[in-house]
Amino acid sequence: MLKRLKYAVTDHPLLTTLVGLRGNPRACVYTEPLWGIPYSLYVPFFTLYMYALGVNDQQIGFLISIGMVFQVFAALLGGVLTDKLGRRLTTVIFDVLSWSVPTLIWAFSQNFWWFLVAAISNSLWQITNNSWNCLLVEDCEPEKLVHIYTWVTISGLLAVFFAPISGLLVETLTVVPAVRILFGLTFIMMTAKFIILYRYSRETKRGEIRRAETKGVSIWTMLGQYKSVFSLMLHTKETLQVLGIMLVLNITSMISGSFFSLYVTQNLQVPDSWLAYFPMARAAVMLIFIFSIQTMLNRLSFHIPVMTGLVFYLASQILLIFAPAGQPVWLILYVLCEALAFALVVPQKDTLLVLFVNPEERARIISLIYVAMIGLSAPFGTIAGLLSAYSRRLPFVLNIIFYLLCMLLVMRMRHDSRKRSSQASQ
């Protein structure tokens, strides 16, 4: 038995990658559950928590949009600060400001205005999103990237299995006191994660070079240098195509994450405490899929798993829209389709973002990509809120439209890829 277990560990490419991680990738991946576990505990109830404190559908949509407006500025500064301060220092400073601080505000929130202040503080996560990704990938072998991003996804999925704790708390204490406790726990665990990551990581080689190059250069001067970087991004077709995919997935994820819980509890008559179990079922499906099928799909062209995933995304939204109240089978099918879609699409998207970015300007190009993505996504929080106020099915109809647009974009990428291959062979 032990021999077979040892063989399984050494034979499976994902497990081999995990055991073999060293340096910054190990520090980033191994500490990720300290962020993922508390996040998974509170996020299913976050919208209901706001709703219970008097924040209505339109205000929820406005909070999403205003948070994204500030994320645009944070993402713009992200590339500059990541280069000037270094990947490691930027990550610890803005992790604390964007997660530790707002979780404390959320824990004591009383009304809309508390959530507004927390949303602005939380928007700074776009800075650390840039620096953390650079810290993760810059000293890593390119052939390991898909597996490493898959492990980042897996760590979040494993964290979801702690979700029944929050369900029991909500069932025992009701939503508001239970979620306040969860935010206190989140503050402790996330802050511990940020300190541990800083202690066991090191500045990347590229980070050292950029920090030396930007020493003595003002932040305003560095922001002015974005013009040439923006031109480089605009003239890289693959980067723009990846931006399009990221834009669609960001909008649809924002809509589902913000309005799913309201729809299923208010319209489909699902008990509040059940919300903790939907992410757990989703995670179970995704983990089975990742360890059984996904490693084989990683050998295929990018377009095959992404197109398949988009079909599952479409199916999930259709099931949700037409689900009758009081019949959980429809929601089980929704979870199955949505989980498969996420497992197929997201690791591929994250890898493409790294592969199609100029490594010498990675921090600033990624920063601009997120600026564009967030800026274009921002209005859809308000739009989805208005749609939800009219009918809670309409935000998911909007998702269907975006998934269809994404399929057209992926087909265009496939056509361009075949064209480049044909020209290279001539």
Read off the pLDDT of residues 146-159 as tens digits, 9 standing for 90 and up. 778 778 878 877 88
CATH code, 231 = 1.20.1250.20
d(CA 99, CA 119): 10
Q: What is the pLDDT of residue 416?
A: 65
Write out pLDDT tens, residues 321-352. Answer: 998 887 878 888 998 899 888 888 876 776 67
Identify residue 401 by its one-letter amino acid code: I
- Domain presence at residue 28: yes
- Domain presence at residue 306: yes
Write out pLDDT tens, residues 52-78. Answer: 999 988 898 889 889 888 988 888 888
Residues 6+ apart with CB under 8 A from 197: 27, 28, 31, 91, 92, 95
Nearest to 126 by CA among 164, 77, 166: 77
- Is the pLDDT assigned to residue 5 strictly greater than 70? no
Which spans in 98-174 are helix H? 101-107, 112-122, 125-137, 145-160, 163-173
Q: Do residues 193 and 185 make contact, with C-beta atoms less than 8 angstroms apart?
A: no
Identify residue 273 by its one-letter amino acid code: S
Give 3-state DSSP helix, strand, coil % of the chain, rounded to 5: 85, 0, 15
Q: What is the pLDDT of residue 365?
A: 76
- Domain presence at residue 11: no
Q: Do residues 231 and 357 make contact, with C-beta atoms less than 8 angstroms apart?
A: no
Write out pLDDT tens, residues 391-408. Answer: 989 999 999 999 999 899
Which residues form the domain of 235? 20-415
Q: Do residues 244 and 409 make contact, with C-beta atoms less than 8 angstroms apart?
A: yes
Residue 34 tokens read as: 């300290």
- Domain presence at residue 1: no
Q: What is the pLDDT of residue 8?
A: 47
Residues 6+ apart with CB under 8 A from 15: 8, 9
- Domain presence at residue 8: no
- Domain presence at residue 292: yes
Residues above pLDDT 90, as percent of the chain: 27
Query: Cα 4 from chain centroid?
Result: 35
Q: What is residue 408's three-state secondary structure?
A: helix
Q: What is the pLDDT of residue 304?
A: 81
Give the chain's largest Cα–Cα span.
69
Count of domains forming the chain: 1
Query: Average per-residue pLDDT in the chain?
Result: 83
Residue 338 tokens read as: 């949505």
Residues 6+ apart with CB under 8 A from 378: 65, 68, 69, 71, 72
- Domain presence at residue 9: no
Tokens 């079922």, residue?
281
What's the Rg (C-alpha) of the chain?
Answer: 21
Counted residue by residue, the chain has a size of: 426
- Domain presence at residue 176: yes
Which phi-psi region, left, alpha or beta, contains residue 269 (left: φ > 0; alpha: ψ -120 to 50)?
left
